[in-house]
Amino acid sequence: MAIDIHTRAVQPPQMDWPQNSAVPPLYQTAAYTYKSLEQVDRIFQGTDDGYTYTRAGNPTTRAFADLIASLEEGEQGAIAASGMGAILVAVLALEESPGPLLMAREIYGGSLGLVRRVLEPLGYRLVWVDTHAPEACLGIMRENPGGVLILESISNPLGRVCALDTLIESAHRSGVKVIVDNTFATPYHVRPLRFGADLVVHSVTKFIAGHSDLILGAIVGKADIMKTVDSLINLMGVTPDPYAAWLGMRGARTLALRMERASDNAMTLATVLKDHPALAQVNYPGLTRHPDYNVAKRILNGGFGAIFGLSLKGGRTAAEEVIRRLTIVPFVPSLGDVMTTISHPQVASHRELTQAEQERVAIDPGVLRVSVGIENVRDLIEDFTNALSGLVLG
Ligand code: PLP
């Protein structure tokens, strides 16, 4: 019988830890010592287990990578110093020499910045795709064989959900590889490798670590490509600090429980707010009126995620007023904390997009993103209802 994700999450990888430590200890070391030159040779050649230098590998980081691989049901995992580092490594691992990078239109602004400001100058070519228009998307993929498609399983902030099953199949038939950024959905809701994704990446900073107290990324995939991933992490120096990996692993053990509660809270809160007169739209894929509700029901398990977008009729002025009035929900331009937070995509996560690119994915000055936490939902309902009451409607 397959072991449930709630059970897998709490079980830290078991290895022969010194002193029979029940959980992976923190190896806060840059280097390792050896008894002989032969031993060093064997470790470098891979005939002996061991570590040579923490930039290339560390037991604490390895344990965390194994835990994430188990959560994502992947053969192998790796931890990078940040989510951005993970995306860069994933792209370079799948597309070593410059070629087309197909990006979903809703992509996180940082990922776009990476492509535009780092990869395009190196010769990679940005190609926008609408992953919700299957025919047009297939056409673009057929025109760009050898390319890599980058998309998010649940998009930020409007909760668009990709039909990962059919999309990945079409990509592979067209000779395009697929990176799924699973930061928003987390393996609690979807494991994109099951649908054939070539690599899954995470900003571990968010839900996986869960406490807004560290920056980390992760990559999961098949063992052969992960060899390249490990080597790139080492050579580009996007290695995490072992302490951050240890903290991330501690947070990840409650991932399933946190996501279960947070997505329940999000569903309740989105349902309460959906017809509020101050709002033009509540964008949550768990609402039947959301354009991707049926896809989300097919692709996601255990709920619809912990994030939704609010479109305020009163535009930026109303958005600013809501931020000012909320008492238990702070404005934090990040997400995935145990605490509910609110952000403004136009000034924060999506500021890298041009106005036209923002408009294309319905990000306007009146859009707020809510990352729902694990509080008592009654308190959240009260805070949001008070903050939205009597707003100028624009
Ligand atoms: N992917 C998504 C969907 C994100 O929201 C973010 C950060 O906000 C990143 C990647 C980048 O992750 P990090 O901030 O850990 O580098």
Whole domain around residue 362: which residue ranges?
256-393
Return the pLDDT at 29: 98
**Are 236 and 263 found together in one domain?**
no
CATH number of the domain to which 312 belongs = 3.90.1150.10
Sorted by sequence, the CB contacts under 8 Å of residue 289 that are 6+ apart come out as 274
Q: Are residues 215 and 272 in the same domain?
A: no
- When computed from its CA atoms, the radius of gyration of the chain, rounded to whole angstroms, is 21
Q: Which residues pair with 179 in a beta bridge?
A: 150, 199
- Rounded Cα gap, residues 271 and 267, in angstroms: 6
Pocket test for ligand 1, best of 82, 87, 91, 108 (most atoms within 8 A of CB): 108
Q: Which two tokens stand for residue 376?
A: 């008592």
Pair 229, 330 in one domain:
no
Q: Which of 252, 285, 313 is the last residue of a domain?
A: 252
Q: How many CB atoms lie within 10 A of CB 214?
A: 19
* 22 & 70 share domain: yes
The best mutation among 87, 182, 183 to test binding of ligand 1, ranked by most ligand atoms within 8 Å of the C-beta, falls on: 183
pLDDT value of residue 84: 98
Q: How far apart are CA 275 and CA 394, in angstroms?
A: 17
Residue 361: the pLDDT is 84
Residues 6+ apart with CB under 8 A from 194: 73
Cα–Cα distance, 142 to 265 (Å, whole number): 41
| 236 and 263 in a common domain | no
Distance between CA atoms of residues 375 and 63, nearest Å? 30
Is-contact 206 181, C-beta < 8 A?
A: no
252, 274, 295 - which closes a domain: 252
Which atom from ligand 1 is nearest to the alpha carbon of 215?
15
End-to-end CA distance of the chain: 56
* Atom nearest to 152 CA in ligand 1: 3
Enter the tokens of residue 176: 């395009």
Same domain? For 61 and 202 the reply is yes
Please give the number of the atom of ligand 1 that sits closest to the Cα of 334.
8
Whether residues 203 and 289 share a domain: the answer is no
Would you state the structure tokens that stand for residue 105, as one six-digit string?
């239109």
Taking alpha carbons only, the member of 131, 201, 198, 191 closest to residue 166 is 131
Pocket test for ligand 1, best of 84, 160, 371 (most atoms within 8 A of CB): 84
CA–centroid distance, residue 140 to ligand 1 (Å): 26
For residue range 220-241, list pLDDT tens digits in order.
999 999 999 999 999 999 999 9
Cα of 297 vs centre of ligand 1, distance in Å, is 25
In whole angstroms, give the CA distance from residue 154 to residue 6: 21
- Judgement on whether residues 34 and 182 belong to the same structural domain of the protein: yes
Q: Kindly give the parts of the chain with pLDDT less than 70.
A: 1
- Cα–Cα dist 203/82, whole Å: 6
Q: Supply the CATH number for residue 130's domain.
A: 3.40.640.10
Distance 282 CA to ligand 1 centre (A): 23
Q: Which residue, judged by its Cα, is nearest atom 15 of ligand 1?
A: 83
Residues 227 and 318 both lie in one domain = no
Would the pTM of this model clear 0.95, i.e. be above it?
A: yes
Q: What is the dihedral of CA 206, 209, 215, 221, to 10 degrees?
A: -90
Q: How many domains does the chain have?
A: 2
Nearest atom of ligand 1 to the alpha carbon of 86 = 16
Helix (H) or strand (E) holding 199: strand 199-203
Phi-psi region of 21 (alpha: psi -120 to 50; beta: other; left: phi over 0): beta
Atom 13, ligand 1: residue with shortest CA distance: 83
Last residue of a domain, one of 237, 252, 267: 252
Q: Whose CA is nearest to atom 11 of ligand 1?
A: 83
| pLDDT at position 11 | 87
Q: Do residue 85 and residue 106 come from a single domain?
A: yes
Asked if 115 and 165 sit in the same domain, the reply is yes
pLDDT at 28: 98
For residue 181, the CA-to-ligand 1 centroid distance in Å is: 9
> Which residues contact ligand 1 via a Cβ below 6 A?
82-84, 108, 110, 152, 156, 181, 183, 203, 205, 215, 217, 349
203 CA distance to ligand 1 centroid (A)? 5
At residue 393, the 3 state secondary structure works out as coil
Nearest CA to ligand 1 atom 7: 203
- Do 100 and 50 fall into the same domain? yes
